[in-house]
Each structure stands twice: as structure tokens, then as C-alpha cells.
Amino acid sequence: MNKRTLRIIVIVLWVLFLGAAITIPSLFYMVKHDTNGWFGDLPSLQDLEKPDPDLSSELISADGVSLGKYYRKNRTPVTYEELSPELVNTLLVTEDIRFKKHSGIDLKGLLRAVIGKLTFQFNGGGSTITMQLAENLYSTSSANRGSLYKYSSVGQIITKLKEWIISVQLEQSYTKEEILAMYLNTVEYGSNSFGIKVAAKTFFNKLPSQLNYSEAALLVGAINAPTRYSPIMNPDNAMAKRTEVLYNLHKYGLLTRDTFDSLKTTDFGLTYLVDNHNEGLATYFRFVIRNFLLSWTKEHGYDLFEDGLKIYTTIDSRMQEYAEQAMKEHMDTLQSIFDDHWSTLKSNPWIDDNGNEIEGFIENAMKRTPQYRALVSNYGKESDSVEILLNKKKSMTVFSWDGEIDTVFSAYDSLRYYKKFLQAGFMAMDPKNGNIKAWVGGINHKYFKYDHVSQGKRQPGSTFKPFVYTVAIDNDYSPCYPVVDAPVTFAMPGQDPPTYTPDNASGKFSGEVMTIRQAMARSVNSITAFVMKQVKPETVIEYARRLGIESPLAPVPALALGAGGDVSLQEMLAAYSTFVNKGIYTKPFFISRIEDENGNVIQQFVPETREALNEETAYLMLHMLKGTTEETGGTGLSIDRELRMDNEIAAKTGTTQNASDGWFMGVTKDLAAGAWVGGDDRSIHFKYWAMGQGARTAMPIWEKFMLKIYADPTLGYQKGPFDKPLKPISVELDCDKYNDVLQPTDSLRFDLIDEDDIM
């Protein structure tokens, strides 16, 4: 190169330098003080001081375990101190090796990028980590675009100028460590993971502080193209990119050659699990309380999906896990029994009151599905296309207790398959403070969304009987009050037939004299009907309301047997808890407090309480309910002996007509829990009542759960008696003294059937 050529090059470079020295500050000024709308807005100083990326709101258990998140982008921030040195080093050698030396703009890197573009040779980008953060936080390439953006090349220059301006201001407002952490928190890594904390958990089930060089290289390599370099979707690309990043670590002296050669041949070591609302603990609980949280955040000016709230629940993760295990263990077995039962009968489980299969059941059920309504909306009700498409086979994955199954089903096949599954709900709560400790709304949230704890309502069967006896006890009846097991008839004016005489489950009346405690323990319908006739349905409803039953109830004689209205498991459990809580009703609640993203408490929640019963009545009802596990013929005597030993259990089974619904409510001195089991439709059940009774379908879930609870010393639950009232009990609890006095011929029942009642 001669001197003349060299002189020309020097002059050109000086001209470019001086031009840039004058032009760039001028452009900076024009962009920052744009009054004509040419360039678009820049973030304000306030926005720069408090960047606002979308942050997931997190549900946290009472024992500090994350139950799940609500998000548009699954992101949970971390601080610099929560990053491993290997992760930090990997990021710097990959994205910005001079990060700690520049003030937001790397002139050397920028010049390299410009020369590379002019010579059509890519030698690395000119964007620093701070500039990339500016884009991530403020969407500089897509948001606040001015009128000059209609010219593509001009728009690109303006975008870069904005990023330079924002980068300089970010560097003035934050430390290098804060900027680096903010960057890692705002990046997408693929598989619906935004931010390094979520990415580390998704791909490796680790915290960012635990990432090694190999893992960090995989995640950092995916930053600019998370799909292209996804180890799940494009493993070959991901492997090549990881090798490139690992080589940079070797190049800058952070890995020896031997270490590099070793790491580049290892597999990814993934522990891959994408966070979603169908996975993890308490899936039904998370979904159900979402509506409450949406309402609360709207009222208080927050966004549940973006504001990074910390929602502390009353759920105990250990108890929740035990509840889900108990549900799975029992329902898997019960479903096998159910399937074998109907396979032997060579029939489908949807049957009418006479035990015959309901014709057209699936066809009618299909008409209630969203899929059917959508097809009718598109093609018309009379179109052949509707039935053709509903019968068209296609590949799908379906639920089974042995794991998901890939199969080929039509819409009718799928509906027929799923209708044969028994459903269930389970809840446990602290009866003294209302804290819900475990909530299992169904058998599998991915395939069965409907919640059977609070949303689902069914007739409670005999679990309603204690409310009838509560009225009697509160009106001076003793648990030892004797009654004859004989028919009780109610007049039903204007109805056909004009009278109602409830049968016992056995279909027989023994004529035996028994106390009302024995009668409730054995779940004798005739004696509950006798008590109902004395106290009247309207009074029973009044007491049920006091105990927390809010669902509509009909003042009919059948209410004595739980056939006067549908109720939720949550309502029933709250009512039973009142007996343990000395007559104080405590509304079940599930959130203790909510904090903002900075840990400030926004709201503390306290339970709603009211006095429902006096202390003696509440204790006497516990004594009545203990009969289930103490009296001869009690429906809870089959509970595992390990649970009953050295323990007091107040319990009640319940089974509705035709065994459509099986219930069990069990209360100990410091824990109340209950279960419901049944089909999606009331017509789906065992053919024989005895097979579907609550003691067989629902009670085992409670039993398995409680065995796990007592076996875990970290929970602190111990067996023992119920607390007695401070004042002496005013009625006799030892009923044995009456056994030799009462005879079936005593005049105890002469007033049960009035002549006017018989027509």
C-alpha cells in the first residue's frame, strides 16, 4: 500500500470519526427531545428506575413449598447472589466479554460489527448485555415506533440509538451485577421458561446457583434462538451450540483443554419438566382459587399474571401429597373393581332406577358437550357432517390409572370411555382455625377439570343425619334417648302417593329399641325419620344454615336422609368441624396473606367465625358421632384398628339412593377430613347398593390419608381424646343402664304415626 492510498484511508477515517462525533450526539438529542413524533417515545426516568417485566405470581404452601404459578410468561426473578459463578462466566464469554469494562456501549464490539456488515463477514454482534436488556425491558424494536419507522433502514438506526441511550441510563442507575441478573431474568430459554430460575428448574430441576459449566452452556446457548437450540426439539443444534459456548470458555482460560474435550461429549443431563397447571401439587386447588385471586387483584389494582405476587396459602404440601397419594391408591383399586363388576354383568354402568341400561345415554350426553355445540354451530343441527365428524376416528392420548395411553378414538368412543370412570373429591382442614390443609378435587386435573370439593354438589345421604340429631340434642334429647326401629310415615298432602315412609337400607324394620346414638352409628333411617318428625324439616334447615350449609335445601321429610338438596364437600366438612371447635363455625379459608414482588404484605386474611351451637351440644354431637366407631353395628368399625387405637374418631358414612354417591366424614381432635366418590352422572354407579356404599367407596381414602398423617412425626398430629367442655355435661352419656328397662312394647313410639297421617 503506497503512501497516497494510506493518506486517503486516514482522511476518510477522520472524516467518519468527526462526522460520527457530531452526528451521533445530535441524533441522541433529537431522539430524546422528539416533539414531532418522528422517533417514538423513550422510557421515562421513573420507568428506568423501576423496570417492569412480566413476573409470575406464585402460590406458596404453609410450609414454604411452591405449589404453582399464574403467568402469561413463566418468570421468577433472582438476584446476582443467586447465580453460580459458572453461569456468570458462561454468559460473559458468550454475549459480552468486555461487559465489566464498558458503560453500556462497547465501541470495539460495535466497530467490529459494522466492519463485518460492510465486508459481509459476521464477526459478532455489536449489542452489549446492557443493550440487549434495554430491548428485553422496553421492546425498543417494536414498541413506541415513530413516523420515521416506515423507512426500514432508518427505523433500524433509530432502534439502535434508543438502545444506546437506554443502556447508558441503565448503567448509571444500576450496578453491573444488577444489570447482569436483570438480563438473565428477562431472557426466554424455550419450553415456556422465561428467566434463568424457571429455565434451570425446567431443564435441570436446579436452582441457578447450582448450575455447572455444561448446564450453563446449554441455557446460555439457547438465549438468542430458544427453539433452534432447544435440547428437546432440536438436540443436534443444541449440542453444537453448547460445544461452541464451551469452546469460548476454554478460549478465555476458564476450562482446560481436557475438561473441554470431556464436557463436549457428555449428554445434556436433563431433568426436564415443563411447569403447567396440570402438573405438581394441588392442581384443582390452584385452578379453583384462581377466580378468587382474579377478583381480588382486580379490586386492589394488581395483575395476577404480571405483578409477581406471593400468595401464601394454608395448604400443607406434605399433607397435600399424602391426600393425593391416598386418592390415587384407593381410586385405582376401586376403578378396577368397578370395571370388573360391569364387565361381569356385560353392561354399561349408566342405569335407570330399575337397574336397566339407559338407552341413548351417550348420544344425549354428547349433545351437552362443547364439541357437539361447536359442530352444530358450524354445520347446522340437521347436517350429516355433525355425526360424521363425531364418529371419525383420530389419534389421541387418554387417561388410565396405569399411565397415559395412545389410542385411536372417535368423539363418541372418548366420551364412552371417560364416562365409565368414577370420580372423587377429598378435603382436609384444621377444624379450629378453618385452615384448609389438603384439597384434591378429582382423580386427574389434566383429563377431568371439574372440582368435586367446592364446585361439585351432590346429595349428602346419611352424612346429613347428624344435623337432624343436632336439633334434637340442642333441644334436650339425650344420646341415650331410646326409639324403636319401626316405620315412620309422613303425610304428603297433594302428592302421589299422599304419604312417605322411608325404608331402612336393609329393607326391613327390626322392631329393636335402640338409643339415638346407636341409631346414628348404624345409620338406621327409620329412627332418623322419627327424630325429623319431632323437630320438623324447617328447624333442621335452620340448624344446617348455622353450621355452614349454604346450598338450597328443601323442607321435606326426605331431608332426614340427605335427599333434600345437593351440597358440597367443603360445606359438609366445615359443618362437621363446628362440633370439634366447641360450637364455633369457622368458614374454611385458603389464603393467609398476599405479598407484592418486594415482600411487602398487601393483605392479611383472617377466617370468618360465628357461634353456631353451645359448647355442650357440640361435644354431645362428637359423642354421638363417635358411636360410628364404638357402637355394635357402627358403620365405621371397619376403619383400620391402628387408627382407632388410643384415639377418638367422630365419623359418619353416607350413601345416596342406588349408591350414586358415597360419602365419609371423619373428625379427630385436631383434623377434619372428608371424601366423596361417585360417577360424573348420578346414573353411573355400582348396580348393587352394598358395593357402592360410602364405607367402601369413600372411607378408604380418609383412612389411607390419616394413616400417612400419623406416620409423619414432622406434621405434629397425634392421637387422643376430644377436648371436653369446661362445665360438667348435663345429660347422661352411659346408656348401658337403660338396656334392661326398655322393651319393644314400650309406648315410646305410639305417637309416631297419627291417624290423620294415614289416608
Q: What is the helix (H) or strand (E) element at residue 673, kind and residue range?
A: strand 672-679
Query: Which three-class secondary structure state does DSSP give residue 297?
Result: helix
- Enumerate the CATH 1.10.3810.10 domain ranges in the chain, comma separated: 34-263
pLDDT surpasses 90 at 193:
no
570, 417 contact by CB (below 8 A): no
Instruction: State the pLDDT at residue 591.
Output: 97
Per-residue confidence band for 77, with pLDDT thresholds at 50, 70 and 90 = confident
User: How many residues belong to the chain?
Assistant: 759
Fold type of domain 34-263: Penicillin binding protein transpeptidase fold (1.10.3810)
- Least confident stretch, 22-36, 101-115, 461-475, 502-516: 22-36
What sign results for the dihedral spanned by CA atoms 128, 130, 136, 139?
A: negative
Query: Which three-class secondary structure state does DSSP give residue 441?
Result: coil
Instruction: State the pLDDT at residue 2.
Output: 60
CATH number for 423-592+611-749 (one of 3.40.710.10, 3.40.47.10, 3.30.230.70, 3.40.50.300): it is: 3.40.710.10
Centroid of chain to Cα 123? 49
Angle at 228 between CA 224 and CA 234, to 5 degrees: 140
Per-residue confidence band for 756, with pLDDT thresholds at 50, 70 and 90 = very low
Instruction: State the pLDDT at residue 129.
Output: 87
What sign results for the dihedral spanned by CA atoms 472, 474, 477, 478?
A: positive
Instruction: State the pLDDT at residue 47.
Output: 55
Instruction: State the pLDDT at residue 616.
Output: 97
Instruction: State the pLDDT at residue 156.
Output: 62
The values of phi and psi at residue 291, to 5°, are -65, -40
Instruction: State the pLDDT at residue 119.
Output: 46
500, 525 contact by CB (below 8 A): no
What sign results for the dihedral spanned by CA atoms 30, 32, 35, 41?
A: positive
- The type of residue at 721 is P
Instruction: State the pLDDT at residue 4.
Output: 65
User: What is the secondary structure of 678-736 as a DSSP string?
Assistant: EESSTTBS-SSHHHHSHHHHTHHHHHHHHHHHHH-GGG-----PPPPPSSPPSS----G
d(CA 224, CA 238): 12
Average pLDDT, the chain: 87
Percent share of the chain, pLDDT over 70: 84
d(CA 676, CA 694): 8
d(CA 211, CA 216): 6
Cell readout for 538 is 324447617
pLDDT surpasses 90 at 171:
no
User: What is the secondary structure of 510-558 as a DSSP string?
Assistant: ---EEEHHHHHHHT-HHHHHHHHHHH-HHHHHHHHHHTT--S----SGG
Among 224, 216, 226, which Cα is nearest to 248's? 216
d(CA 67, CA 315): 9
Provide mean pLDDT across the span 390-407: 96
d(CA 546, CA 587): 11
Cell readout for 423 is 370420580
Highest mean pLDDT out of 136-145, 633-642, 731-740, 744-753: 633-642
User: What is the secondary structure of 455-515 as a DSSP string?
Assistant: T--B--GGGGHHHHHHHHHHTT--TT-EEE-----EE-TTSSSSEE-PPPTTS-----EEE
User: Cβ atoms within 10 A of the Cβ of 149, count?
Assistant: 18
d(CA 459, CA 662): 10
First-to-last alpha carbon distance for the chain, in angstroms, is 125
Q: What is the pLDDT of residues 400-450, one digit of tens each?
A: 999 999 999 999 999 999 999 999 999 999 999 999 999 999 999 999 999
> Which residues, 6+ apart, have CB-to-CB distance to 158 below 8 Å?
31, 39, 40, 146, 148, 149
Helices (H), 384-434: 384-390, 411-419
Per-residue confidence band for 172, with pLDDT thresholds at 50, 70 and 90 = confident
Provide mean pLDDT across the span 79-103: 91
Helices 525-535 + 465-474 axis angle, to 10: 50
Instruction: State the pLDDT at residue 278.
Output: 75
Considering the entire predicted model, what is its pTM?
Answer: 0.80
DSSP assignment letter at 55: B
Q: Which residue has the cell 406416620?
A: 711
- Enumerate the CATH 3.40.710.10 domain ranges in the chain, comma separated: 423-592+611-749
d(CA 87, CA 213): 7
Query: Which three-class secondary structure state does DSSP give residue 651?
Result: strand
Instruction: State the pLDDT at residue 51.
Output: 60
Q: What is the pLDDT of residues 241-282, one digit of tens each?
A: 999 999 999 999 999 999 999 999 999 999 988 777 777 899
651, 633 contact by CB (below 8 A): no
Provide mean pLDDT across the span 375-387: 92
Instruction: State the pLDDT at residue 746.
Output: 41
pLDDT surpasses 60 at 123:
no
d(CA 482, CA 516): 6
* Bridging pattern class, strands 499-500 and 591-595: unpaired
DSSP assignment letter at 208: G
The values of phi and psi at residue 755, to 5°, are -60, -35
Q: Which residue has the cell 378435587?
A: 441
